[in-house]
Amino acid sequence: MTDSPKLPPRNVLAEVSRQDQRMLKWFEDVSRAVGVADGAAADLAGLQDQIDDLDAGLAGKADLVHTHVPGDVTGLSEAIDDRVAALLVAGPNVTLTYDDVLNSLIIAATGGNTDDGGAFVIDDLTGDMVFDDNGDAV
């Protein structure tokens, strides 16, 4: 008859069981940490996608502060013409004729002062403006 193997004492079995439980707990903790890290990596990937979308959306856009050559601004000349025509107000004996199609503003006056040479004098301004009979500034 053969002898049956000897079993280790109970205290040794209990110690092995505690070590197994500690090892199992360690594996659970590591597994939980890996899950958290995977979630964080997914969140970062989502953020990177948002950053890439923003970069694509901003590509080719002008900086907030920038300059243009006036000729490159569509409609700038027309807007200036309209603004100047709106700023000028005809006074007594003065007519303003703005021709939007011909891009011209005609300022005409009747009466008023003339100097000895027949030039028309506008003297209500800070400085005098003098024009001859042909409308040329003198």
pLDDT single digits (tens) 81-124: 888 888 888 888 888 888 888 888 888 877 655 555 555 555 55
Residue 37 pLDDT level (bands cut at 50, 70, 90): confident
Residue 125 pLDDT level (bands cut at 50, 70, 90): very low
Dihedral angle of Cα 118, 123, 128, 130, to the nearest 10 degrees: -20
* Angle at the Cα of 127 from the Cα atoms of 126 and 132, rounded to 5 degrees: 135
Q: What is the mean pLDDT of the chain?
A: 77
> Can you give the pLDDT at residue 122?
52
Q: Where are the alpha helices (DSSP H) in 6-65?
A: 10-58
Percent helix, strand and coil across the chain, each to the nearest 5: 45, 15, 40
